Amino acid sequence: MSLSTYAALKTSVAGWMNVSASDLSSQIDDVVTLGETRIYRECRSRDGEKSYATAMSSGVLAVPSDYVEFKYLYCSAAPGVPLERRSVEWLYAQYPRVNAGSGIPKYFARDATNFVFGPVADGSYTATGVYYRKFSALSTALNDQFLNNPDLYLFACLAESEILIGRDQRIPIWESKYNKILQDVNGLARREDTSGSTPRMRLMS
């Protein structure tokens, strides 16, 4: 069966578990949701990357609704130097908010639903970069990460199916298979970052 639709994924998951997709439709929906959630926490594929470019407002940016984590982030005033991630406690201690307009941001942290920066921006800057996103549920829309890695989703769902079928002896096998596929998918993104070039030793000047 081709795993190219949400319905096909549910049918395949049910078949591997030896249960009826029609009799346990809502429960299998839950298993797929658990599998998807796990993938968003653990998978860092190229398909999950999303470009980011937003103007800072008083040195603060709202966290995107589909945000998982940043791959990298820069300030427009220093495009060659990535912003460094710090804890919000450290950032507020080093750069109190009373010191408005104190410099070009070098650090950022998350404070609830916002990103904050230090030093506090002394001008109008834009934060640019790439973050890993959380896709809409497969029940509402397909996405490239699923279409390019259907095996990852199948075994993530099967690994999470213990809530439905109990301590089945196949769970460890499915868990191992999921972890191997996840390692391959994450590794592919890392290998692609250096593809097309021959590694060379660089002399420090």
Q: Rounded CA gap, 70 and 85, in Å?
A: 10
pLDDT higher than threshold 70 for residue 205: no
Pairing verdict, β 84-85 and 49-55: unpaired
Do 81 and 152 meet the contact criterion of CB atoms below 8 Å apart? no
Q: Quote the Cα angle for 49-52-54, to 5°.
A: 165
pTM reported for the whole predicted model: 0.84
pLDDT given for residue 159 in this prediction: 96
Which residue type, as a one-letter code, is found at position 82? P
pLDDT higher than threshold 60 for residue 11: yes
pLDDT tens digits for range 128-174: 999 999 999 999 999 999 999 999 999 999 999 998 888 899 999 99
Sheet containing 126-133: order of strands: 49-55, 126-133, 67-75, 78-82
Total length of the chain = 205
Which residue type, as a one-letter code, is found at position 80? G
Query: How many other CB atoms are there within 10 angstroms of residue 91's CB atom?
Result: 22
Nearest to 70 by CA among 83, 56, 57: 83
Give 38 or 193, the one with higher predicted confidence: 38
pLDDT tens digits for range 79-106: 888 999 999 999 999 998 876 677 899 9
pLDDT given for residue 62 in this prediction: 94
pLDDT tens digits for range 22-72: 778 789 999 999 999 999 999 999 999 999 999 987 778 999 999 999 999
pLDDT higher than threshold 90 for residue 2: no
- CA separation, residue 87 to residues 84, 97, 142 (Å): 10, 15, 35
Maximum alpha-carbon separation in the chain: 68
Record the tokens describing residue 57, joined without a space.
């407002």
